[in-house]
Amino acid sequence: MINFENEFRATKGKPFVVDGITYRMSYDLEPGDNANIKVHIIKFDSSPRQGIRFDSEFPMNINGKQSNAFSVWADKAPHDFLIECVPNSKVSIRNIWDNGDGVEQSWHAGGAMIVENKKNLIVCRTNSTLLNDFCNDLEVTFELIK
């Protein structure tokens, strides 16, 4: 079992590779001129509660709400939604979870993500404090569109 917290501490939060798999704490999406990110939640485990956090230096729009940061919980969000971004901005994503006490957790314990680029689609699989190397607690795709 990989000790993600120790690995990320050693790399100062940078990605690291084990057995050909790159593990990350976060990932930066750069929509470029497209300026929109279509999000599709494929699957998630309900315990602990799973989600994705989106942060940008510029305001983003999700379902008519505008903010520089959104925490989207997989059990409450539509399985497909659009993030409208400022052209040529950067949107940082990271996995989040709630252990049942209403507190958003991230970037510690067993938290990690695997990100794969497949043509126009970015596939993101994450884990949580369940400490698994498979990163199969949440699976989401991101598509950069106009």
Q: 120 — alpha (psi -120 to 50), left (phi > 0) or beta?
A: alpha
What is the rounded CA–CA span in Å between residue 27 and residue 50?
17
- In the chain, which stretches have pLDDT less than 50? none
What is the rounded CA–CA span in Å between residue 56 and residue 123?
20
The pLDDT value recorded for residue 132 is 72
Residue type, 83: I
Residue 129: closest CA among 102, 103, 111: 111
Taking only the tens place, the pLDDT of each residue in 100-117 is 899 999 988 778 999 999
Which residues does residue 36 pair with via DSSP β-bridges, in sequence order?
84, 145
Residue 48: closest CA among 99, 96, 105, 104: 99
Q: 21-117+128-145 has which fold? A: Jelly Rolls (2.60.120)
What SS3 class is residue 99?
Answer: coil
The pLDDT value recorded for residue 13 is 92
Q: Are 95 and 138 in contact (CB under 8 A)?
A: yes
Q: What residue ranges do the domains of the chain occupy?
A: 21-117+128-145
What pTM does this model have? Answer: 0.92
